[in-house]
Amino acid sequence: FPFVINTWGGPFTPATDAAYLSLTSRTPPLSAISAVEIGCSTCERNQCDGSVGFGGSPDENCETTLDAMIMDGTTLKSGAVAGLRRIRDAISVARHVLEHTSHSLLAGDLATQFAVENGFAEEDLSTAESRAACEVWKEGNCQGNYRVGVRPDAGRACGPYVPVESGGGGLDRGVVGERQASHDTISMIVIDREGVMAAGTSTNGAAHKVPGRVGDGPIVGSGSYVDGDVGGCGATGDGDVMMRFLPCYQAVENLRLGMTPDEAAEDVVRRMVRKYPNVASGIVVVNNKGEYGGAASGWTFTYSVRGGGMGETKVVTVPPIE
């Protein structure tokens, strides 16, 4: 200890370093939950891979909205924002929900109102690049998108759309889920010098999503989860599928049952793959001793880790399970 682990390498490693250094280079060192906030906010500012923070993943209306969650591993209290509009600092607003309300989740325009009341500045989250990307998507007949069972055919044309009755109660049991156009997320778990744990998640969600869509990131037990008595988990992938399994809650419970971190991660990935063979997922797990592992499906996944006296962040590559 201290110890930091998060989804993805590459542009996500500065977040690992920022969180780790907040625990080692300050006197007194910051708390685990502050380290999570610093790590995730670093990714938000850096617009990690275009999938975290402002200016990424515009929805059908070309607007970027944000999802974030932060969780205390001692009390199991959490704070989250979903569909946050016009506020850049999603993970910090989530922490305000945790520390200044008795709620767990605020959403949409009223989450924005809460943020403004707490001193955060409203601003346009779009950029010239995100607007241009959205226009290119529209010029390409809005492919791909997340509409199903509508007219005109969403596989060929833009909306506005109207629903078409399927005759099956609205559920096509032959559909096992389509891959999302984008689904990167930073999910981070921190252990401070005293062994106190915290976790957090931040993302701008799926590109070209239906306005109002909320992914797995701000959902406790899905995007991340931590119980300091046992360990923590972070997740990334096809969020609309993954949230059906609460994979991070399950992974931590697997640790409680005696599984190693690698076994705990692989078990939750296999649970998802059995129902959705094409799901893209990446899971990182660490127990409260600092032992860690990961598993993935549908892609080659990477995660970043730094702990103890490590002079730099290590990136671990995880092939998809067979």
Answer yes or no: is 214 a known binding residue. Answer: yes
- Whether 302 is catalytic is no
Type of residue numbered 40: C
Contact of 189 with 173, CB cutoff 8 Å: no
- The answer to whether 192 is annotated as binding is no
**Amino acid making up residue 128:** A
Residue 320, SS3 per DSSP: coil
d(CA 165, CA 156): 19
Encoded tokens for 130: 């995100």
User: Is 239 flagged in the annotation as binding?
Assistant: yes
Residue keyed to tokens 């705990």: 264
Catalytic residue among 65, 185, 203, 313: 185
Buried b (16+ CB within 10 A) or exposed e, 237-270: bbbbbbbebbbbbbbbbbbeeebebebbbbbbbe
Q: Are 248 and 230 in contact (CB under 8 A)?
A: no
Contact 225, 249 (CB under 8 A): yes
Is 213 labeled as ligand-binding? yes
| Exposed / middle / buried, residue 46 (Cβ in 10 Å: 0-12, 13-18, 19+) | middle
Residues 227, 312: Cα–Cα separation, whole Å:
27
Spell 293-303 as b/e; 16+ CB within 10 A means b. bbbbbbbebbb
* CB distance 114 to 92 below 8 Å: no
Please list the active-site residues.
185
Which residues are known binding-site members? Answer: 213-216, 236-239
Which residues are known binding-site members for substrate? Answer: 213-216, 236-239
